[in-house]
Amino acid sequence: MYDGEARIEVILLGIPAVLLILINGIVYLAAVASFPTPLQVSGPVVFLGVVDIGLAILLGFVLLFYLLSDDSLRRGSLSALIVILGAFSLWLGGGFVVGFVLAIIAGVIGIVFAQSPLPPKTPEGLYSQPTTPVVSQTTPHSEALLPRSAGSMIVRYCPKCDARNSGDARICQNCGATLYGGT
């Protein structure tokens, strides 16, 4: 499993966890508002509810930063934070315990797969080619775009990495760059 796939699972588990913890907090406040309770009871319950809602919002932001992070070390740290916040939520009701369990699983998956590389976004990423096009020193760039004859075989040189490709190739076999003038 790629980290990219793990990221989807972390988000799919994390969002219900946030919602459950949030609803748990709202239920505390709603319960106090609905039933006449002495101040000794309502005070701590309101406190729990407010802290729980705050925790849900914080967890939501951590999930958002996790989703947007391209750095594996940061994703690992944010996943650890998801576990810590999830564990802390149990003290406040843990999103009916289900939210707590989902957050812990999401965080652990995030930690385990934070070390795996993300799938390459471009074909170039596969081969870690330089980002600047390598222009052949012996051949002018414009000429490199055109097919060249080598013996009886028509070949096409890549304008980006100068790799040799067959004459009918549309993309470079080495770096995946588009070969212009394809037939």
Q: Is 179 in the site for Zn ion (CB under 5 A)?
A: no
Token pair 């946030």 is found at: 18
Query: How many binding residues for Zn ion (CB under 5 A)?
Result: 8
Instruction: Determine the Cα–Cα distance for residues 181 and 170; give it in Å rounded to an integer.
Output: 8
Q: Whole-number minimum distance, CB 134 to Zn ion, in Å?
A: 9
Residues 6+ apart with CB under 8 A from 51: 25, 92
Q: Which of 127, 114, 153, 138 is nearest to 5 (CA)?
A: 114
Q: Which residue lies nearer to Zn ion by CB, 16 or 123?
A: 123
Alpha carbon separation from 159 to 6, 64, 112, 176 (Å, rounded): 37, 40, 40, 11
Q: Is 92 in the site for Zn ion (CB under 5 A)?
A: no
Q: Is 174 in the site for Zn ion (CB under 5 A)?
A: yes
Q: Which residue lies nearer to Zn ion by CB, 54 or 120?
A: 120
Q: Which residue lies nearer to Zn ion by CB, 104 or 175?
A: 175
The number of beta carbons lying within 10 Å of the beta carbon of residue 20 is 23
Q: Which of 144, 138, 103 is nearest to 18 (CA)?
A: 103
Residues shown for the chain: 183
Q: Is 172 in the site for Zn ion (CB under 5 A)?
A: yes
Instruction: Determine the Cα–Cα distance for residues 119 and 14; give it in Å rounded to an integer.
Output: 22
Q: Which residue lies nearer to Zn ion by CB, 102 or 158?
A: 158
SS3 148: strand
SS3 106: helix
Binding mask 125-164 for Zn ion (x = CB under 5 A): ---------------------------------x-xx-x-
Q: Which residue lies nearer to Zn ion by CB, 29 or 169?
A: 169
Q: Whole-number minimum distance, CB 161 to Zn ion, in Å?
A: 3
Q: Is 175 in the site for Zn ion (CB under 5 A)?
A: yes
Q: Which residue lies nearer to Zn ion by CB, 87 or 134?
A: 134
Q: Whole-number minimum distance, CB 7 to Zn ion, in Å?
A: 30
Residues that bind Zn ion (CB under 5 A): 158, 160-161, 163, 172, 174-175, 177
